[in-house]
Amino acid sequence: MTESKTPNFHIRDLPIYGDAILAPMDGYSDWPFRSICRELGSAMSYTEFIKVEKILSKSKQPAKRMYFNEPERPITFQIYGEDPELILQAALKIQENNPDVIDLNMGCPAKTIADRGAGVGMMPSPLRIARTFRKLVKHLRVPVTGKIRLGWDRNKNYKLIARIVEEEGGSLIAVHGRTKEQRYAGNADWDAIAEVKSLVKIPVIGSGDVKTVADIDRLKAHANVDAVMIGRGAIPNPWIFSRLDREQVPPELVKETIRKHLARSVEFYGDEDGSRLFRKNAVQYVMMNHLTRDERKEILKSRPSAEFLELLEKIYDSPMLQTTL
């Protein structure tokens, strides 16, 4: 997708071209999928989030999650944790891998993360967030950003947190329009996202319930945000970053993307793991609800990548599936 010659906004002095961005998603925004979305028009890349304790340990996971290639830039490394000092140490360490931005996840609602004070579990502690951003901004050379939710049902303090991020030197804030308890249920509150945009001068990215190209424009118009972040809506339709709704995507483009994604998954994880991990994307690409029961069983079986690709091609070319596209 051709990028505009005029930046849509800046993260500090970093120009961002485009208004739709793939959201960081654990288990999905790995290098194979992320790089494809970037090529299709996502304005920048976010890694899957990385636990700060793993960064500071001998775990191999952070290096895998931080992998990127130059065409992906601008690249944001997203981290999460609850201790301001550990977050700083981890950020200083990963900064040596030359990201363009480091982002603090304050929005993950997963119980195992939030209940220990990380992710959206940070939001009830505004002073801790202030200390964390103060440390990060003071000691890092790259811009520091944050991603939040609206808070908890009992304490929707998103406006306070947005002000803190800005006052402590944060360069951007992304807002998902739901609370911790909502997770991904109900409707995202676009009015709340608009409130954040009206309160701060740093760029604001809006997130929640963006499933179509029209939704991108609606959220931008409703909340006046600088860009829109797309998560679950992009999994079956990465072509949304090329401004195509799923039913507008030509079959040959779907097949080309399937082949490219599988090849990158195998390159990145190896044949066995790459084929296995790709299955969750494959079932989205070919729309499982349009498959027969036997086809669903077959597509979920473990098999070498060459056999898997042959199966997908056969299923995708079936007359029944073609009539639904």
Per 3-state DSSP, what percentage of the chain is helix, strand, and coil (rounded to 5)?
A: 50, 15, 40
Q: Active site includes 37?
A: no
Tokens of 143: 């811009």
Q: Catalytic: which of 108, 123, 161, 193?
A: 108
For 67-116, the pLDDT digits (tens) are 999 999 999 999 999 999 999 999 999 999 999 999 999 999 999 999 99
**Polymer length of the chain:** 325
Cβ atoms 40, 241 nearer than 8 A: yes
Q: CATH second-level architecture of 9-242?
A: Alpha-Beta Barrel (3.20)
Q: Please list the alpha-helical segments (H only) found in the chain.
A: 31-40, 52-55, 61-66, 84-95, 111-114, 126-139, 158-167, 190-199, 213-223, 251-269, 271-285, 293-299, 305-316, 319-322
Nearest to 301 by CA among 315, 317, 321: 315
Cβ atoms 43, 19 nearer than 8 A: yes
C-alpha span between 205 and 203 (Å, rounded): 7
With a pLDDT cut of 90, the percent of the chain lying above it is 78
Per-residue confidence (pLDDT) for residue 305, from 0 to 100: 74
Q: Going residue by residue through the chain (325 aa), what tens digit of pLDDT does each one get?
A: 445 589 999 999 999 999 999 999 999 999 999 999 999 999 999 999 999 999 999 899 999 999 999 999 999 999 999 999 999 999 999 999 999 999 999 999 999 999 999 999 999 999 999 999 999 999 999 999 999 999 999 999 999 999 999 999 999 999 999 999 999 998 999 999 999 999 999 999 999 999 999 999 999 999 999 999 999 999 999 999 999 999 999 888 988 998 899 999 999 999 889 988 888 888 788 765 566 777 767 776 766 777 777 777 776 665 544 544 4
Tokens of 27: 């288990």
Per-residue confidence (pLDDT) for residue 291, from 0 to 100: 67
**Angle, CA of 283, 288 and 292, to the nearest 5°:** 125
Q: Where are the domains of the chain?
A: 9-242, 250-322
